[in-house]
Amino acid sequence: MYYYRLGNIPPKRHTQFRQPDGSLYKEELVSSEGFSGIYSNLYHTYPPTRIKALKDPVKYGPTRINDYALRQTHLNTSKVATTGDDYLNARKVLLTNADCSISICSPRQRKMDYFYKNAEGDEVLYIHDGKGTLISPFGKLDLRQGDYIVIPRTVIYKLEFEEGPLRLLIIESSSPVETVKRYRNQLGQLMEHSPYCERDIRPPHELITDTRPGEYLLQIKKQGYLHQYIYDYSPLDLVGWDGFLWPYAFSIHDFEPITGRIHQPPPVHQTFQAHNFVICSFVPRLFDYHPQAIPAPYNHSNIDSDEVLYYAEGNFMSRRGIERGSFTLHPGGLPHGPHPGTVEKSIGVKETHELAVMIDTFRPLFLTSDSLEFLDANYPMSWTDPASGPFHEVNTP
């Protein structure tokens, strides 16, 4: 990210900065990679270290399926209305490995009555349906349909959503989620050929300073548990902050697609990077303009990555039987490509209006127990030519 500041801060770091009553504001350095990565300096009214009570931790996390067979997979989550009562128990992890987890989340409750901190992973929330606000010590951040919300680890936050359809895709990363390195110059600025720039990135816009005493629950996720901390003052007691580490929004609608005369490979759609996986955005765009171009993607064999597609809007010409809000997983070790008949049908098509989020991982993904209810048993046979006979049932684990 770029440097940003909000509220009141002293002229120099680590110097006296006094409150109206003469006492010192409490400075907090939030830093990554020890003291070598990006960081921000926060100025609290009360010490961020002081707690009122500790409650027993609550077990939290997915159950991984280790004996799922190697197969192309469709998770038909398109009909899901709600996945739980509140934000945390509504987060259903469907796919996971040591580097990332991929979840759906459609909570019934539209406001969180607690704060949440992920102490072991960065989070990316894709707002498929819904509108609301992320509230953190860094300020308010408006959330709109189509937004990616990037939340660095240890950022305390709560969410408030308006009434109406609500559907989130959540990607949790064990490493920092960053803009794409090949699109940055040596000083970190996004370059001219990048499909987005700093103007497209929305920082928090309004600082909330709440100094009222009370009882504030903070649930901290770490090592398979939610740790329950009670504070007697709100985490929103900041008067100011500055730095490079802060939550931000970037809309998929602001991603400018890169096109060419012939079919471009998926890396041109890359939006974010992390260790051992990438996040890509498929957006409305013109198709290839070579006179003999085939717009449908070619068959592809992943030899070292698993490919997940989350279908957001529109119809993908290469897939059939996939609805809005569903996932496909095409694992390394198997070829995948257009369904029968879709290649010829694509010839001459000039543009697409699809929206999808792709996650490519460089270590195998595992299904979870929560994913099994969405499993489409027929999908591995969906490349069979219908003229040669019906699809065959495939037993689920």
| 342 backbone dihedrals φ, ψ, rounded to 5° | -80, -25
- Does 74 show up as a binding residue in the annotation? no
Quote the longest CA-to-CA distance of the chain. Answer: 83
Residue type at 150? V
- Does 336 show up as a binding residue in the annotation? yes
Burial class (CB in 10 A: 0-12, 13-18, 19+), 314: middle
- Does 300 show up as a binding residue in the annotation? yes
Going 27 to 32 to 35 to 40, the CA torsion angle's sign is negative
Q: Give the 3-state DSSP-derived string for 121-137, with helices as H, strands as E and coil as C.
A: CEEEEEEEECCEEEEEC
Residue type at 170? I
Is 128 assigned a catalytic role? no
Which position among 44, 263, 275, 339 bears the catalytic label? 263
Give, in order, the Cα–Cα distances in Å from 260 to each of 232, 288, 295, 359: 58, 6, 11, 22
Burial class (CB in 10 A: 0-12, 13-18, 19+), 65: middle
Closest CA relative to residue 46, chosen from 251, 239, 201: 239
Strand partners, 225: 59, 222
Summarize the annotated binding site for homogentisate as residue ranges. 336
Q: Looking at the annotation, which residues are catalytic?
A: 263
Summarize the annotated binding site for Fe cation as residue ranges. 300, 306, 336
Summarize the annotated binding site as residue ranges. 300, 306, 336
